[in-house]
Amino acid sequence: MTSKSAIALPPKAATQSQSTEVIAQLNQLLSKRAGDRHLVLIQDFPDPDALSSAWAYRLICREFNIECDIYYGGTLSHQENIALVRLSGLPVRRWNPQSKAGPDLSKYQAYVLLDTQGTTTQLTHLVEESNLSLFLVVDHHAPQREIDATLLDLRPHIRATATILTQYLQSEKLLVLDRGNSSHVKCATALMHGLRSDTNNLMHAAEADFMAAAYLSNYYDPQLLAAILRASRSKRVMDVIERSLRNRTSQNNVSIAGVGYLRYDDRDAIPQAADFLVTEENIHTAVVYGIVHDEDEEREVVIGSLRTSKITLDPDEFIKEAFGQDAEGRFFGGGRTTAGGFEIPVGFLSGFYENGDYNRLKWEVFDMQIKQKLWRLINPDDDLISTD
């Protein structure tokens, strides 16, 4: 499949004219859709980048008399994400893909993917089955699959989708932010949080990200952002971090840790543990993974996160090389600069039983398989991770 109107931006910073072209096309397309309702999908476990980008798109659409509903298919478990939604009133809803209580898809004219290309949400196949047209995809990750969309805006050279949405706002062609509008201020705060989150507090930011942050500094609420960032880690998160420290193995400046079984609601403890392990002395890359058990849906998924400070390591290439694709050709994971993740369904072996020996043996099998796939990409001769 090919997109109907795709903007292919260069690997380096996009020129002003190219950014203007994207905004002009979006302006034209939205102007023709007054009265529509869009379904906005973000990743199952949304981060600040996804949440803030979806909110910005919703505000933009209101200027064109288009209503939007934002949905995710997993859970909010990271303490900062929970704080962001609660303190800002960010309008997002959970849609359990196994429940019949989902939204009435017949009331939407199109759907939108933000900070995802449909590979990180269980909701994609439900929407595709409904024959809803895909209107827009905006993402800062490398291409994950072929996409048939009215407008496609993929920019892997930009560090955050929040940066792209902020550029839309900077143009003042789609929406003019108002410091006196509470929703605008809160959304700008969310965008600032999403931008700083995906750039490691701007340490990995590119020029476009700095420019976006400078623009948002005129509108965001520093006190609200500080309150969001003060959200403390739960005891369960601390337990997972402790488990990753206890189970980690290191070779050639790479640390790998399996943390066993986790509850579905504690899934976001895995990236937090990876963030912690990569700070260890003489470690440039950390991978943490575990089996996440979803009692409601009676399924299990191996979920992992990668963090790296090594500039020559491409997390997207590394994870795709390590774990490959499923039967439909979709990669089990991917990444961006300094970070990546993967999700592998346990499938037929799913199920947490009273028999502790069975659970232990199943974990040992998956733990060994994940480690083998990761370690085989470690080149012991030159201390480099190879994706050749």
Domain map of the chain by residue range?
A: 6-229, 236-385
Q: DSSP 3-state assignment of 385?
A: strand
Cα–Cα distance between 162 and 87 in angstroms, integer?
19
Q: Which fold has domain 236-385?
A: Diaminopimelate Epimerase; Chain A, domain 1 (3.10.310)
Can you tell me the distance from the alpha carbon of 178 to that of 63, in angstroms, rounded to the nearest whole number? Answer: 13
Hey, is 288 helix, strand or coil? Answer: strand
- Per-run averaged pLDDT (10 residues), the chain, 388 residues: 45 55 93 95 91 96 96 82 85 82 89 90 86 92 83 89 95 94 95 90 86 95 87 79 91 92 86 90 93 75 92 89 84 84 82 74 91 79 44
pLDDT score at 353:
67
Length reported for the chain: 388
List residues bridging with 302 in a β-sheet: 291, 344
**What pLDDT shows up at residue 29?**
95
Which residue type is seen at 21? E
One-letter identity of residue 349: L
Beta bridge partners of 220: none
Q: pTM surpassing 0.75?
A: no
* Residues 198, 49, 374, 256, CA torsion sign: positive
**Paired tokens of 314:** 């491409």
For residue 106, count other CB atoms closer than 10 A to its CB.
Answer: 7
17: left (phi over 0), alpha (psi -120 to 50) or beta: alpha
The class of domain 6-229 in CATH terms is alpha beta
pLDDT value at residue 388: 41
Q: How far apart are CA 322 and CA 312, in angstroms?
A: 17
* Amino acid occupying residue 296: D
Domains 6-229 and 236-385 share a fold: no
pLDDT digits (tens, 9 = 90+) for 222-252: 998 988 887 767 778 888 989 999 899 998 8
pLDDT at res. 37? 96
pLDDT of residue 385: 47
